[in-house]
Amino acid sequence: MSRQTGRESDKGYSLVELLAVTAVLALVLSAVFMFYENVLRAFARDTSQVEAQQNVRVALDFITSDLHLANWLETRHDGGGSVLDYRLPGESENERWTIRRRLADNTLVREKGTRSSVAGTWGVTNTVMLASHITAFSVVLTGAVVKVTVTASFGGRQFTMESTVSPRNLR
């Protein structure tokens, strides 16, 4: 029977070796978690960007479908850019729809307006928000063709969408 003495009989790892492995593992895991967090942040930002673009697309589609049916329209400008007034078939001379960019909250809204028979002024009876984060709204009427341009900004990125429509009832 031999008796071992010294380090030969020690089994396992020393405290220094365990601390070194723990430090390396902590560095690797922190790098993985930082990468994961950046990927999640980018995903959330891009999802919000896509959602903002989709909202503008839906609003533009809504405006385009209304303009296809319009039997009267005019454009004017206010502090927020272009304002589009139009009337749909079946509505009286005292009713109209207005689409404008509101400066207070940078939204694109569709308003139903009626003219008071007593005062002759227009009042808003119904307001629907079409899109948010709108930085510019432009309507150009050339003959029987209407070009609508909507610019929005979200997350530091700006994008512009436009549509051209020829209203059926204005020809």
Q: What is the pLDDT of residues 13-64, one digit of tens each?
A: 899 999 999 999 999 999 999 999 999 998 888 888 888 899 999 999 999 9
Task: Single out the residue of 91, 101, 94, 103 nearest to residue 139, CA to CA.
Answer: 101
CA-angle at 100, arms to 65 and 155, nearest 5°: 95
Average pLDDT over residues 104-112: 87
The answer to whether position 51 is within a domain reads yes
* pTM of the predicted protein model: 0.71
- Give the residue carrying structure tokens 């512009």: 160
Range of the domain at 74: 44-170
Q: Give the C-alpha separation, 28 to 52, whole Å.
A: 36
The answer to whether position 128 is within a domain reads yes
* Residue 155 DSSP label: T
Q: What is the pLDDT of residues 113-135, one digit of tens each?
A: 887 766 667 777 888 889 988 99
Q: Give the C-alpha separation, 10 to 4, whole Å.
A: 10
CA-angle at 160, arms to 158 and 164, nearest 5°: 175
Please count the structural domains in the chain: 1
The answer to whether position 17 is within a domain reads no
pLDDT range class, residue 96, cuts 50, 70, 90:
confident
